Amino acid sequence: PVTVGGQAPAFNVTSIWAYRDISRQTTFDYDSSNLFITHLASYQKQVSYSQELQILSPDGGAIEWLAGLYAFGARNAFDPLRVFAIMPDVMGTQQVTYGASRTRALAAYGQGSYRLTDVMRLTAGVRYNHERKKLVESRVLYPDANIEIDYPLGATSWKNVSPKVALEYFKNAYR
């Protein structure tokens, strides 16, 4: 992650940004024997990013607050996942699976704290989330049998509001 911040007289600003691009190939002896009976080969690809912007009150006051926005996106894929078997069945000696999904998430949040005493603080806040997941590819091939099965694609999304109220007690004086 990359974090950049700045200060103004009335507030502080922080921006946190991250990007990840992973490609991975995995092979696995699925039958766990010395013989080549069943073998798995997986090619996975993942790309994700996130961006968060925070606006914070200056430190040290009786009232402290924080507000922010957050965004996340990702694409994950099997390109492809192959299972090989030495003993053919009705579908043949191999199965090839392709699958890919996308995720998009947004959030907005705010929180405020009031120092009641040197050892006690009252905090209240709320966070709003909206996330969407979409299956963009899903199919299985049986090359030996010349069969391709396409699975239904779809998407789902959800929203959530999460309130927070807390009364905090500090054994030593709050800084």
- Provide the pLDDT for residue 88: 62
By DSSP bridging, strand 120-142 and strand 154-169 are antiparallel
Phi/psi-derived region of residue 38, left when phi > 0, alpha when psi is between -120 and 50, beta in every other case: beta
Query: Hey, what amino acid is at 10?
Result: A
Per the DSSP assignment, residues forming a β-bridge with 27 are: 41
> Residue holding tokens 């430190």?
59
Q: What is the phi-psi region of residue 171: left when phi exceeds 0, alpha when psi lies from -120 to 50, beta otherwise? A: alpha
- Ranges of the chain whose pLDDT falls below 50: none
What is the pLDDT, as a whole number, of residue 79?
Answer: 80
Token couple for 79: 């390109």
Token pair in block for residue 16: 């946190």
In this prediction, residue 87 carries a pLDDT of 66
Task: Give the list of residues 6+ apart from residue 70 with CB closer than 8 angstroms, or none.
Answer: 50, 51, 52, 53, 105, 106, 107, 108, 109
Within 10 A of 113 (CB to CB), how many other CB atoms are there?
20
- The whole-number pLDDT of residue 93 equals 75
Q: What single-letter DSSP state applies at residue 1?
A: -
Q: Are 114 and 125 in contact (CB under 8 A)?
A: no
The pLDDT of residue 91 is 60
pLDDT score of 61: 84
pLDDT at 89: 64
| pLDDT tens column, 9-23 | 889 999 999 999 999
Instruction: Give me the pLDDT at residue 134, please.
Output: 96
What pLDDT score was predicted for residue 1?
73
Question: What confidence score (pLDDT) does residue 34 get?
Answer: 80
Distance of alpha carbon 49 from alpha carbon 7, whole angstroms = 25
User: What pLDDT sits at residue 94?
Assistant: 82
pLDDT digits (tens, 9 = 90+) for 58-91: 887 889 999 999 999 999 998 888 887 776 665 6
pLDDT at residue number 174: 61
For residue 61, the tally of other CB atoms under 10 A from its CB is 11
